[in-house]
Amino acid sequence: MSTATYTVTGMTCGHCVSSVKEEVGEIDGVTAVDVDLASGRVTVTSEGPIDDDKVRAAVAEAGYEVTA
């Protein structure tokens, strides 16, 4: 099991959280996505290491951006 945390900018409401959870959750191997709206932190739990570019692409698909 692997866990990675990202900071996402632009989220302002519960709908934003749902969009990010849905898109990131569709990545193969992801088992859980926890999003904290207040801090912008997104914690991704997966069966193994997930390519950061896939997470960035999923967050972008939801309309937001992962900060460096």
Give pLDDT tens digits for 4-42. 999 999 999 999 999 999 999 999 999 999 999 999 999
- Could you tell me how far CA 13 lies from the centroid of its own chain? 15
Whether pLDDT at 48 is above 80: yes
CA 64 – CA 39 distance, rounded (Å): 14
Please give the pLDDT value at position 68.
Answer: 72
Among 59, 66, 51, 68, smallest CA distance to 8 is for 66
Whether pLDDT at 47 is above 80: yes
Whether pLDDT at 49 is above 80: yes
CA 56 – CA 8 distance, rounded (Å): 9
pTM of the predicted model as reported, rounded to 2 decimal places:
0.94
Question: Where in the chain are the domains?
Answer: 2-66
Structural class in CATH, domain 2-66: alpha beta
Tokens found for residue 62: 């939801």
